[in-house]
């Protein structure tokens, strides 16, 4: 086996940081978690620097099971950004809720390591191991507040439904291996290109089950039933984390599988993803219309955003995949930023607020109101934000590929989403205040909101550099 430690450098940094955080319990058994938070941020920063330094590298290792390329590095950067922003918002939040413990940051790091394995894996077994490492960490994080029944219920639902999805995924991998005799993505793609396997029902069944497993992870309809309850019951900082990094990781792995190994079957899976995209966008947005809780509204909107990325996958061109990667980066900033504001304006045990409770926020706390308005506008896809340019590039790629009807469905769904996103803005600026006393604000939370706000505007106003990075990423993938 060819062992390439350079290829594993980002993974080793995150894994080493996780071990150091684990050892903190020996040194400080009754810690409030703040030291672990700073250590986690230090590890994330070191890994991000290593990721930037490795940009442009292209190496296979470990018998072709892992790859170091711009695609995995770009994905790793998205995961690290999401993890770093989550840590920033978590410190004050956990202190307020009485849940500050080292294990929280350990689980964030192990989930991030799983996501990185999913991005760099070129073997279905490695991707599966990364997926399970990420999922097991998330199951625990969702139920991290053990004294809250709603959190325990969300964790149990996520675990049970996730176990079913894992079964589908693993059975799909087994069928593909039984048909081709390999789980390596390059070997699977080569066998299909050479026509060694053609029209085999076992192969198509395996690919279908594989798609079902990933559809659960990205919360695509009809495999989205876990999202509203999990988003609502989980600690808000965990909800923010789940909505960004893990969702992006599932898309990153799915794109590599579809483009690298199952590209010869594009005629079969493209039509399925077309239907998934249309249904996911529509059901997600229509369900969000009737929600009064802001967390449940963002949960259903997250389902709809998965549909927008699926539009790019249905198109399947280089430009479409570039648009998908660009959108995943933009979505990380704007969605985590929105949840950070929810944390900052909430009170202990009361962060699951109704949209009506945000009445007058724009005047009581102008900075928070302005930031939340920016994130809502970006999620709705209005200019001049990152969300607008992300949707524009995805729909343009779909039209270029001849999927005009799918693009029209996407645009109509974006128009529907404007109603429930702007209802938050209307509540903040056009309804009288409820007169609730302001909660104490965390300085670290401000950092999250500030970074996310600036990034949402910069990506929207000057997207060319980020699009160029995404193009380089796709070139290395293809």
DSSP 403-464: -HHHHHHHHHHHHHHHHHHHHHHHHHHHS----PPPPPPPHHHHHHHHHHHHHHHHHHHS-H
Q: 270-298, pLDDT tens digit by residue? A: 889 999 999 999 999 999 988 888 888 99
pLDDT range class, residue 108, cuts 50, 70, 90: very high
pLDDT for 27 equals 79
Q: 3-class DSSP state for residue 153?
A: helix
Q: In the predicted model, is pLDDT for residue 25 greater than 80?
A: no
Whole-number average pLDDT of the chain: 87
Separation between Cα atoms, residue 388 and residue 1, nearest integer Å:
46
pLDDT for 134 equals 93
Nearest CA to 40 among 25, 18, 10, 9?
18
Q: How far is C-alpha 135 from the chain's CA centre?
A: 13
Tell me the average pLDDT across 35-48: 91
**Angle at CA of residue 174, ends 115 and 309, nearest 5°:** 40
For the chain, percent of residues with pLDDT exceeding 90 = 42
Q: 173-207, pLDDT tens digit by residue? A: 999 988 888 888 888 888 888 877 765 788 888 88
Tell me the average pLDDT across 218-236: 87
pLDDT for 326 equals 93
Both structure tokens of 378: 């970006």
Which residues sit opposite 429 in a β-bridge? none
**DSSP at 356:** G
Distances (CA, A) of 430 to 20, 78, 191, 358, 363: 49, 36, 61, 10, 10
Q: 230-243, pLDDT tens digit by residue? A: 888 888 889 999 98
Q: In the predicted model, is pLDDT for residue 354 greater than 90?
A: no
Both structure tokens of 163: 């176990």
pLDDT range class, residue 49, cuts 50, 70, 90: very high
Alpha-carbon Rg for the chain, nearest whole angstrom, is: 21
pLDDT for 396 equals 92
Both structure tokens of 355: 């949209």
Task: Annotate 237-265 with b (16+ C-beta within 10 A) or e (fewer).
Answer: bbbbbbbbbbbbbbbbbbbbbbbbbbebb
Both structure tokens of 446: 């401000």
Q: 244-267, pLDDT tens digit by residue? A: 889 999 999 999 999 888 888 888
Return phi, psi of residue 123, to 5°: -135, 135
């Amino acid at each position: 086996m060819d062992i390439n430690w350079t290829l594993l450098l980002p993974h080793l940094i995150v894994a080493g940081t996780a071990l150091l955080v684990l050892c903190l319990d020996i040194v400080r058994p009754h810690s409030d978690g703040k030291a672990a938070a700073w250590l986690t941020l230090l590890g994330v920063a070191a890994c991000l620097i290593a990721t930037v330094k490795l940009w442009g590298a292209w190496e296979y290792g470990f018998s072709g099971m892992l790859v170091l390329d711009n695609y995995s590095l770009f994905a790793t950067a998205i995961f690290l950004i999401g993890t770093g922003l989550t840590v920033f918002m978590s410190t004050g939040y956990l202190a307020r809720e009485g849940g500050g413990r080292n294990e929280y940051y350990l689980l964030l790091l192990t989930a991030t390591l799983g996501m990185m394995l999913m991005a760099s894996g070129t073997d279905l077994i490695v991707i599966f191991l990364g997926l399970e490492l990420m999922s097991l960490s998330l199951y625990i994080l969702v139920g991290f507040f053990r004294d809250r029944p709603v959190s325990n219920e969300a964790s149990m639902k996520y675990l049970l439904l996730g176990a079913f999805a894992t079964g589908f995924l693993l059975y799909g991998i087994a069928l593909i291996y039984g048909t081709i005799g390999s789980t390596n993505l390059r070997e699977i793609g080569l066998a299909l290109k050479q026509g060694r396997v053609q029209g085999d029902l076992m192969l198509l069944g395996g690919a279908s089950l594989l798609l079902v497993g990933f559809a659960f992870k990205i919360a695509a309809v009809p495999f989205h039933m876990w999202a509203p309850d999990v988003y609502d019951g989980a600690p808000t900082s965990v909800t923010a984390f789940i909505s960004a990094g893990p969702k992006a990781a599932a898309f990153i792995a799915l794109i590599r599988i579809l483009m690298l190994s199952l590209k010869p079957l594009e005629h079969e899976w493209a039509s399925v993803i077309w239907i998934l995209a249309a249904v996911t966008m529509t059901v997600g947005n229509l369900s969000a219309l009737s929600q009064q809780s802001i967390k449940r509204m963002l949960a259903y909107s997250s389902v709809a955003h998965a549909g927008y990325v699926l539009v790019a996958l249905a198109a399947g061109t280089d430009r479409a995949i570039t648009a998908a990667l660009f959108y995943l980066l933009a979505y990380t900033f704007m969605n985590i930023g929105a949840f950070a504001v929810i944390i900052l304006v909430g009170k202990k045990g009361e962060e699951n607020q109704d949209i009506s409770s945000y009445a007058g926020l724009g005047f009581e706390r102008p900075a928070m109101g302005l930031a939340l308005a920016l994130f809502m506008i970006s999620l709705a896809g209005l200019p001049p934000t990152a969300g607008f340019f992300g949707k524009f590039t995805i729909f343009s790629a779909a039209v270029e590929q001849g999927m005009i009807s799918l693009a029209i469905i996407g645009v109509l769904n974006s128009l529907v989403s404007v109603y429930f996103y702007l209802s938050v803005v209307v509540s903040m600026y056009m309804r009288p205040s409820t007169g609730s006393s302001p909660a104490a604000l965390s300085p670290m939370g401000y950092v999250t909101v500030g970074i996310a706000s600036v990034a949402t505007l910069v990506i929207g106003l000057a997207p060319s550099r980020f699009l160029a990075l995404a193009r380089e990423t796709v070139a290395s993938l293809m």
